[in-house]
Amino acid sequence: MERGDVLAGLKDAVIQMDEDRARALAEAALAAGMDAYDAIMNGLAPGMAVVSEMYDNEEYFVPEILLCADAMYAALEVLRPHLNAATMPHQGKVVIGVVAGDIHDIGKNIVRMMLEGAGLEVHDLGRDVPVRRFVDEAERVGADIIAMSTLMSTTMENMRQVVQELERRGTRDRFKVIIGGGPLSTPFADKIGADAYGRDAADAVRLVQRLLAKEAENVA
């Protein structure tokens, strides 16, 4: 198969929620000697970008997004073992999880998927994640971003505690902290000292890219 056909096929399989075809095309990409990173960044990622746009435009909703994710992960599972870390540009690392006391993780899973679809390295801590675990893991993996989610008003306060834990350890400026979920808002992000609030998954990707770009600028 030609590179162009494989990439277009991967993109389309993600958009069409076609898990089997996504997996088969990932295998075809490797069989044709394509670089796994190329297949991810130029096949799956553009597919997820379209999915994200369709979600923004209210054409796709959660069921579709979850099925697109299944297709994307089916291909990623095939491609990931063949990634060559040495030749890959640094894409930014995100530690993500649902805060302690809350188990609603669909929103978080969608954000994770969109971030992975955009080529970021995402460490998913799951749901009901204790305050310290966010900070421990972010330090351990050298994350750029800590992303927290909750759907419940009762657990929002745990986000503040993560920020306070970072301050206590003197590592607050090493990470950008972003939050999202039903009851949250930009004023709440400001109030607890987070860097930003993301309205939805597409917004979260834009936020992360903006924060990473800013970081790169500061370093340069």
Partner 1 sequence: MSPEMTPKERFLAFLQGQPVDRYLCVPLILNHANRAAGLKVSETITDGPALGKAHADCYRKFGQDMITLFTDTSLLAESMGTGLKYFDDEPPRVEEPIVQTLDDIAKVRRPDPHSDGRLPVFLEAIKSANAEVGDEVFVACCYAMPFTIAAALMGTDVFVKSTRKNPAIAHRLLKLAMEAALDYTDAIIAAGGVPVPVDPVASCSVIGPKQYAEFARPYTQPILAKIAAAGLPPVLHICGHSHLIWDQMVDGGAAVISVDKVDLHDASASVGTRCCLMGNVPPAEVLLYGTPEIVAARTLEGIRLAGQNPGGYIVASGCEVPLGTPDENIAAMLQTVREYGKPA
Site residues, partner 1 (CB under 8 A): 17, 58-64, 66-67, 70, 101, 103, 106, 109, 153-154, 156, 182-185, 187-188, 191
Query: How near is the Cβ of 183 to partner 1 at its closest, in Å?
Result: 3
Closer Cβ to partner 1, 17 or 39, answer by number:
17
Query: Is the Cβ of residue 42 or residue 109 nearer to partner 1 in the bound state?
Result: 109
| Least distance in angstroms from the C-beta of 43 to partner 1 | 23
Answer whether 159's CB lies under 8 Å from 185's CB. no
Please provide residue 145's backbone torsions phi and psi, each rounded to the nearest 5 degrees: -130, 140
Other C-beta atoms within 10 Å of 213: how many? Answer: 11
HSE, side-chain direction, 13 A CA sphere, residue 110: 25
Residue 98, phi then psi, degrees to nearest 5: -90, 135
Nearer to partner 1, 71 or 205 (CB): 71
Task: Give dist(CA 92, CA 120) in Å, integer.
Answer: 6
Nearest approach, Cβ of residue 209 and partner 1 (Å): 24
Number of neighbours of residue 167 by Cβ within 10 angstroms? 12
In whole angstroms, the minimum distance from the beta carbon of 199 to partner 1 comes to: 10
Which residue number, 5 or 59, has a Cβ lying nearer to partner 1? Answer: 59
